[in-house]
Amino acid sequence: MNLNFTISRRGALTFLAAAAGVACLSTRPGFVLAAGTALDTLLSLIGERLAVMPGVARHKYNSGAAVEDLPREAQVIEAVTAQAVEAGLDKDVAAKFFQAQIDASKMIQSERIAAWKSEGHAPFTDVPDLKTVIRPKLDALNPAMLAALKDALPELRLGGAGARLEAYAAGRSVEDQAAFRRAIAPLVVVAAS
């Protein structure tokens, strides 16, 4: 059986435009294709974690607590490095990645709190408790982020990963772009190596 396909110029252009549209959509924050890649999953989880930070900032603004909590940071890094070893992931890679997540989180919290203070913002109402609601949510994200990091590492080492990371970061809101860039900094280093 001999099948000959003839594609018109118009048909080819339509196909290419559709393919380009799908490629662009897959790099938009909050948009992951059904058959998304491991890197898409990891970027989505980073975004999900950062989306919790305004709530953390509201809690700390109300309570007057410091943004930086070094004992908590050390606890998180210790826990994720232990989990990384169990999962077969390099503990230094995990530590650098999660330190970047913590740094990005502190950027968002600091910026929000400084803005609220300068506005003389009243305390927030209906803020979830940090210890009983917010931290358990963050702690639940950590194993998923570790697994996604492990799965995304081979993809990061392929050509074009750096450009995908940049496109994803550029699509973030201006308000959170610097924090998101800090969160993905270790991934950019892997993609560049």
- pLDDT for the residue 192: 87
- pLDDT for the residue 36: 85
CATH class of 38-192: mainly alpha
From first to last of its 193 residues, the chain has per-residue pLDDT tens of 443 333 343 333 333 333 333 333 333 344 343 358 999 999 999 999 999 999 999 999 999 999 999 999 999 999 999 999 999 999 999 999 999 999 999 999 999 999 999 999 999 998 999 999 999 999 999 999 999 999 999 999 988 899 989 988 888 888 889 999 999 999 999 998 8
Residue 70, H or E segment: helix 70-87
Q: Where are the domains of the chain?
A: 38-192
What does each C-alpha distance from 135 to 41, 56, 75, 78, 173 come to in angstroms? 21, 9, 12, 16, 24
Task: Confirm if 149 and 93 have CB atoms less than 8 A apart.
Answer: yes
Closest by CA position to 175, among listed 119, 112, 116: 112
Task: Confirm if 49 and 191 have CB atoms less than 8 A apart.
Answer: no
pTM of the entire predicted model: 0.79
- pLDDT for the residue 159: 82
